């Protein structure tokens, strides 16, 4: 997987934009997709599975991510590290629902899960 200096690739942005999601859900999906890509890179770099990564390893990665360097301070990077770590919850659920390891998830699978969750919330209301 090639490192990227973009938060999301143009293709990933297009996929999110097409999804039937609210603005809030699109934001959450974007963070989850960024987290998935970053977590895959961290795991590859560390030679371990995503589920075995320590929070410190993820924080170090976010602090060094070139796409987050311009004009952001240390507090934002700490906050964003927490967002990435929090994304492990939905990514774990997506992986369980898809019957694969988090490392094997794809952007379409993540977006499909977010759309399904949005539909369930609508049905419950």
Q: What are the tens digits of pLDDT across the range 27-56?
A: 999 999 989 988 998 899 889 999 898 988
Over residues 52-68, the pLDDT tens digits come to 989 888 888 877 877 66
pLDDT: which is higher, 88 or 1: 88
Closest CA to 28 of 100, 117, 101: 117
- Total-model pTM: 0.82
What does the pLDDT read at residue 3? 44
For residue 36, CA distances in Å to 73, 86, 111, 124 come to 23, 11, 12, 28
What does the pLDDT read at residue 33? 94
């Amino acid at each position: 997987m090639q490192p990227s200096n973009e938060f999301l690739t143009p293709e990933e942005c297009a996929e999110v934009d097409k999804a039937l999601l609210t603005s809030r859900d699109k934001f959450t999906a974007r963070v989850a997709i960024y987290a998935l890509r970053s977590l895959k890179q961290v795991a590859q770099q560390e030679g371990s599975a995503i589920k075995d990564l320590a929070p410190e390893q993820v924080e170090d990665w976010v602090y060094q991510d070139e796409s987050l360097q311009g004009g952001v301070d240390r507090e934002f990077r700490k906050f964003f590290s927490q967002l990435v770590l929090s994304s492990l919850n939905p990514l774990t659920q997506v992986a369980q629902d898809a019957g694969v390891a988090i490392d094997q998830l794809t952007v379409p699978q993540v977006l499909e899960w977010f759309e399904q969750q949005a539909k369930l919330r609508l049905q419950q209301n």
